[in-house]
Amino acid sequence: MQVSRSAADYGGTVPSRSLADDIRGRSDEELARLLVRRPDLARPAPADLTALAARASTRASVQRALDALDLAHLQAVEAVVVLDQPVSAASLTPALAGEVAGLLDELWTRALVWRGAGGLHVVRTVADVLGPHPAGLGPPAAELRGSTPPALRDAGQLRSLLDRVPPEAAAILDRLAWGPPLAVLPDAAPDGAGRVARGVAWLLEHHLLERVGDGQACLPREVGLALRHGRVVRDPRLHPPELGGRTVDAAAVDAAAGQQVSDLLVLVDELGAAWGPKPPRVLRSGGLAVRDLRGLARTLDVDEVRAAFVIELALAAGLVADDGGLEPVWAPTPAYDEWQQLPGAARWAALGTAWLASTRAAHLVGTTVPGGSGPVNAMGPEAQWPPVRGLRRDVLAVLETAGAGHAPEPQRVVEALRWRRPRRMPGEPDTVVVAVLREAEWLGVTGRGALSTAGRALLAGAAGESLAGVMHPHLPAPVRHILLQADLTAIAPGPLEGSLAQFMRLAADVESRGGATVYRLTPESVRRCLDSGWTADEILAALTDASQTPVPQPLDYLVRDVARRHGQTRVGGATAYIRSDDEATLTAMLADRSLSALQLRAIAPTVLVSPVDPGMVLDFLRDSSFGAVGEAADGVVRLAGTAPRRTAHRRRPAAPLVQALDDQAAVGLVAALRAGEETAAYQREQRDTRTGPPLPATDPTTTLAVLRDAAADRRGVWLGYSDAAGAVQRMLFYPDRVEGGRVHGTAEGSARTLSIHRVTGASAT
């Protein structure tokens, strides 16, 4: 959906008196386009067009809309704010030194400006969000001193005055012309400082500067625009910067991406294999210990940065999690077992979708964030950074605009992001963008620095089978054989298929990765396989079936020698022991049927052991009239107390992303808004003017917007107000100002101050 409107069209329809009038006068297509551009307006769905206009002018929604603007539209909206209202394309073109009709059209589509008599008016909240110095210009003189001096009312007189500025004052104006407009007033001093003081005094005397607060002066907006010769922005950037970069063959891009995906799936598999039998514990702060991160990095044969990425990716995809036990550990989830059974492309689709939607920033692991007590731990709460979710999409969008097979340099990507999202850039964009590009490469979203075909599909919103279908042709085909070598190594010429890959991870250690993976069989790895229940003959049979080369004699000797010595020493488990110098008492315990649940076993004449918890053993013995007491590890008698129960720590889920609104949903919502508006209009026609209209319930944000607009326009508002007894009063209220959660004004000729949270509904007259 796209509307094409020329500058003349802004005055070609019936002018509106407010943003609400403007929105009510839009066509269904234009309303749908507004909702698509600003999806936060549709959640929850407003009751009618008046409520939609009120929500569109709230500070939170306007700030979100401004944050979504690129630099060209942001400079245009700043120019609209600082110029005299109303504005038109003709008056705005000199201010930005470029064609602005299309920019104004988009600002109107997003409801940041509205059509009025003579041109466009900016929504009042926009100026509040932009702050006191939009485009580096100060407030008008009337706001600084209460009235506009005669010399500043006429452009000719102001230009004549500026031509007469003495040199010491001209230097000050040159420093303030392009912002910021504030200056610190100097103390009286000789020499250079005295010269500056004389220049400041001359400017204050002729009202080219105005005092603001103690020791500060501000350049009025009229003077700033005159010094800029009508230009609002020194360096207008109405078009995105060129990306440039090197060109890579598209087939090579997808092939490189497929190889990265193959490596990533192996790393996630090995993470699950390592943490399944030996899960690391959860720190008190909720993260992973540094030593556990380093241990996993050694296991995966990667550096700690990439290991942290694999961990955070598995966490985002729900493949590993805190088990929530009394002594919590990080362990694979049931979803990991289901994920393992999927084809490779489907497994990647799950990881890619999770990465794009995740608010966790793996690049923060090991760094110190502002306000933090130390380095950020992997899987810890400090690695939660919601802005990274939008930044990933923006980086991929920049790569998409570069074109297929184009790999721009990271610095060019940063420059493009500064233009695309000027209000949402992170504090250290170079570091963050490089990290996002690195993760995209590891994930196969890019290949050799260019966006892959699967990466484009991921950015377009593909998921599940459709996304997996795009990646499948580019994944290396799994192999079902290995090549055994005489030096106790095995070479896998490609990614191994599922069952063989699991066996090789169990029976051998990875020595190197690449196009082919080299495994080394060691006594420790063979012992690990024996510990899991395999026999020597089964291991050798599996190797014989998988290898295209005979099993070397040194390998046969290794497996059989380790198996011969395996199990000579045995270790059992006992949770509790019972000792007594009276052997008859212990014999009676073994014979007592009421104690059979304890599974008692004698390991010495005076010692019994049980696999049951010591506390339960003690309770059983006491219930059976055996006078038993608890004993500490050092043999001292311990009288156990009741420990307070604690709930396992649970991490809060990330804040949901405002989902995009598709065209079909927007059209359906517009139809509902039209129906709500017709109902409201009918109620307005039928209402008794003494009691006011039926008041729909409004949320506090919408109520604030209605009251602020009414206060600015000097209009009344019908309110429903809940008093201290809980009864709802209806009143026609004339607000004067809104501040601190209260609104001050008059109702029925009396001054009233109302609490916003008690207002049940509001409707402008």
| Separation CA 58–CA 38 (nearest Å) | 13
Q: Tell me, what's the pLDDT at 564?
A: 86
- Give yes or no for residue 443 having a pLDDT over 90: yes
Query: If phi over 0 gives left and psi between -120 and 50 gives alpha, with beta otherwise, what is residue 439?
Result: alpha
- Give yes or no for residue 498 having a pLDDT over 60: yes
* pLDDT-based confidence at residue 652 (cuts at 50, 70, 90): very low
Q: Tell me, what's the pLDDT at 1?
A: 41
Two tokens at 62? Answer: 């306007």
Q: What one-character DSSP code corresponds to residue 752?
A: E
Q: Kindly report the CA angle at 496 between 490 and 497, in degrees rounded to 5?
A: 140
Q: What one-character DSSP code corresponds to residue 135?
A: G
| Separation CA 120–CA 110 (nearest Å) | 13
Domain chopping of the chain, boundaries:
7-136, 159-227, 246-474, 483-565, 576-628, 690-764
Average pLDDT for 98-103: 86
Between these two residues, 283 and 645, which has the higher pLDDT value?
283
- Give yes or no for residue 191 having a pLDDT over 70: no
Whose structure tokens read 């019908």?
Answer: 718
Q: What one-character DSSP code corresponds to residue 361?
A: -
Average pLDDT for 629-657: 51
Whose structure tokens read 């459709």?
Answer: 466
Q: Worst-scoring range by mean pLDDT, 29-38, 188-197, 266-275, 302-311?
A: 188-197
Q: Tell me, what's the pLDDT at 187?
A: 67
Could you report the per-residue pLDDT of 553-603, keeping only the tens digit for each? 999 999 999 888 876 655 555 678 888 888 888 888 888 888 888 888 888
**Residue-averaged pLDDT of the chain:** 84
CATH number of 690-764: 2.30.30
Q: What percent of the chain has pLDDT over 70?
A: 89
696, 720 in Cβ contact below 8 A?
no
Element at 211 (helix H, strand E)? strand 210-211
| Separation CA 11–CA 119 (nearest Å) | 6
Which residue type occupies 610? S
Q: Worst-scoring range by mean pLDDT, 60-69, 154-163, 184-193, 463-472?
A: 184-193
Average pLDDT for 294-316: 93
Q: Tell me, what's the pLDDT at 374?
A: 80
Distance of CA 550 to the CA centre of its chain: 54
Helices (H), 301-428: 304-316, 334-340, 344-357, 387-402, 410-420
Output phi, psi for 382, to 5 deg: -70, -20
| Separation CA 470–CA 463 (nearest Å) | 10
Q: Tell me, what's the pLDDT at 588?
A: 87
* pLDDT-based confidence at residue 681 (cuts at 50, 70, 90): low
Output phi, psi for 36, to 5 deg: -65, -40
Q: Tell me, what's the pLDDT at 15?
A: 61
Q: Worst-scoring range by mean pLDDT, 78-92, 192-206, 340-354, 421-435?
A: 192-206
* pLDDT-based confidence at residue 8 (cuts at 50, 70, 90): very low
Q: What one-character DSSP code corresponds to residue 646?
A: -
Average pLDDT for 406-428: 90
Two tokens at 97? Answer: 């030194």
| Separation CA 655–CA 389 (nearest Å) | 11
Question: CA 212, 217, 221, 222: dihedral to nearest 10 degrees?
Answer: 110
85, 121 in Cβ contact below 8 A?
yes
The SS3 of residue 647 is coil
Q: Tell me, what's the pLDDT at 10?
A: 38
Q: Tell me, what's the pLDDT at 368?
A: 86
Q: Tell me, what's the pLDDT at 756?
A: 87
The dihedral through the CA atoms of 754, 755, 759, 764 has a sign that is: positive
The SS3 of residue 292 is helix
Query: If phi over 0 gives left and psi between -120 and 50 gives alpha, with beta otherwise, what is residue 288?
Result: beta
Between these two residues, 59 and 8, which has the higher pLDDT value?
59
- Give yes or no for residue 655 having a pLDDT over 50: no
| Separation CA 732–CA 745 (nearest Å) | 11
Two tokens at 463? Answer: 């998921």
Tell the burial category of 477 from Cβ atoms under 10 Å away from its Cβ (0-12, 13-18, 19+). Answer: exposed
Output phi, psi for 692, to 5 deg: 85, 175
Distance of CA 294 to the CA centre of its chain: 27
Average pLDDT for 203-229: 89
Q: Tell me, what's the pLDDT at 682?
A: 57
CATH of 159-227, one of 1.10.860, 1.10.10, 1.10.3470, 1.20.120: 1.10.10
Q: Worst-scoring range by mean pLDDT, 2-16, 364-378, 417-431, 604-618?
A: 2-16
Q: What percent of the chain has pLDDT over 90?
A: 35
* pLDDT-based confidence at residue 316 (cuts at 50, 70, 90): very high
Between these two residues, 658 and 721, which has the higher pLDDT value?
721
Q: Which residues contact 525 (CB under 8 A, 6 or more apart)?
A: 506, 507, 508, 509
| Separation CA 182–CA 267 (nearest Å) | 56
Q: Tell me, what's the pLDDT at 356?
A: 94
Between these two residues, 97 and 315, which has the higher pLDDT value?
315
757, 707 in Cβ contact below 8 A?
no
Cα–Cα distances (Å) from 370 to 142, 185, 539, 742, in that order, read 41, 34, 53, 35
